[in-house]
């Protein structure tokens, strides 16, 4: 665990802040389980620009809880303490199906250009790697009004056999959660999905939105990343929203809030070890390059 520095924000804090900025006030949003960055992003949003957010905690379905700290397991009484009221699994998913879930947050081991996600399996014919599965992600990707996608593992890694394994892939081996277009090119509308699909993809290398065709488009990089780095770690070509901006960094008060919400720094477990030391200096910081 890295001790956070007072005068700098960490990559984790920057990601939390950036995810939080995708959350509108007055909507119902659900953070799912197993995603501390998103859990914290919702709490940051609710305590800053979105006080009327209906914050539904993943796994417990608690509404507007005040956890004393962030636990590494989502279905823990830690996570629903102080809840204003409680839903159950049926009610949350019904709300989504009825178009009342304003925003959902999803990730995957594979993400393609249309925002399709795979959290189910690697290997198309034979099963090479069984992933944990998508939970309710498929249903919510279909039904939520808007989706924020994120991953803290955009950077390609060696697969140990000399090849690089990419997170942003040409094609998902399995579509757990649909994005804007199916493999055969059909659109969400063509498939009769009621939600509007992903509008943000936030990674530890940069921030994408989606263009009118439903394709990811690079919008922002971090102070220590650039377009070329993003491109080198992405299996497909993508449009760029010029000029690429630098991702806005959290004000000190937000960093302090995150540190008080997550004293165990659980959210850093979502980051790869080499990313945990990436820090940026304050909200109007200049880049400090790593790697």
Residues 195 to 254 in contact with other proteins, rule: CB under 8 A: none
**121 or 219: CB nearest other proteins:** 121
Among the listed ranges 15-23, 123-131, 153-161, 241-249, the one in contact with other proteins (CB under 8 A) is 123-131
**19 or 249: CB nearest other proteins:** 19
Residues 148 to 187 in contact with other proteins, rule: CB under 8 A: 174-178, 182, 186
Residues 280, 287 contacting (CB under 8 angstroms): yes
SS3 54: strand
Place of tokens 């809880």: 65
Residues 249, 285 contacting (CB under 8 angstroms): yes
Backbone angles phi and psi of 68, in degrees to 5:
-65, -25
Nearest to 260 by CA among 53, 70, 18, 63: 70
Q: Which of 9, 11, 19, 27 binds other proteins (CB under 8 A)?
A: 27
Rounded CA-CA distance 235/251 in Å is: 33
**74 part of the interface to other proteins, by CB under 8 A:** yes
Closest distance to other proteins from the beta carbon of 213 (Å) = 16
Backbone angles phi and psi of 197, in degrees to 5:
80, 180
Residues 262 to 291 in contact with other proteins, rule: CB under 8 A: 263-264, 266, 269-270
Binding-site size for other proteins (CB under 8 A) equals 81
Residues 254, 17 contacting (CB under 8 angstroms): yes
Cis check: omega of the bond before 243, within 30 degrees of 0? yes
Among the listed ranges 20-28, 204-212, 246-254, 277-285, the one in contact with other proteins (CB under 8 A) is 20-28
Q: Which of 8, 66, 139, 276 binds other proteins (CB under 8 A)?
A: 139
CA distances from 14 to 40, 59, 65, 98 (A): 11, 25, 23, 33
Q: Which of 9, 19, 23, 28 binds other proteins (CB under 8 A)?
A: 28
Longest dimension (CA), the chain: 52
**24 part of the interface to other proteins, by CB under 8 A:** no
**63 or 244: CB nearest other proteins:** 63
**97 part of the interface to other proteins, by CB under 8 A:** yes
**38 part of the interface to other proteins, by CB under 8 A:** no
């Amino acid at each position: 665990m890295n001790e956070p520095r007072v005068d700098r924000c960490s990559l984790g804090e920057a990601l939390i802040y950036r995810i939080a900025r995708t959350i509108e006030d007055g909507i119902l949003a659900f953070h799912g389980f197993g995603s501390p960055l998103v859990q914290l992003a919702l709490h940051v949003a609710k305590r800053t620009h979105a006080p009327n957010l209906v914050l539904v905690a993943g796994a417990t379905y608690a509404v507007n809880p005040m956890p004393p700290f962030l636990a590494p397991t989502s279905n823990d009484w830690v996570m629903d303490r102080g809840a204003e009221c409680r839903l159950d699994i049926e009610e949350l998913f019904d709300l989504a199906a009825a178009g009342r879930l304003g925003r959902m947050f999803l990730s995957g081991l594979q993400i393609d250009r249309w925002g399709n996600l795979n959290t189910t399996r690697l290997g198309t014919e034979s099963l090479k790697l069984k992933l944990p599965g998508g939970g309710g992600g498929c249903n919510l990707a279909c039904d939520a009004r808007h989706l924020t996608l994120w991953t803290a593992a955009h950077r390609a890694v060696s697969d140990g056999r000399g090849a690089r394994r990419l997170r942003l892939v040409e094609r998902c081996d399995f579509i757990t959660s649909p994005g804007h277009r199916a493999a055969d090119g059909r659109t969400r509308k063509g498939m009769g999905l009621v939600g509007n699909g992903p509008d943000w993809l936030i990674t530890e290398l940069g921030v994408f939105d989606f263009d009118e065709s439903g394709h990811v488009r690079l919008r922002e990089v971090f102070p220590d990343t650039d377009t070329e780095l993003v491109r080198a770690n992405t299996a497909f070509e993508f449009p760029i929203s010029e000029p690429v901006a630098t991702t806005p960094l959290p004000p000190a008060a937000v960093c302090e809030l995150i540190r008080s919400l997550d004293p165990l720094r659980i959210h850093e477990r979502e980051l790869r070890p080499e990313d945990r030391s990436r820090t940026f200096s304050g909200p109007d910081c200049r880049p400090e390059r790593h790697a």
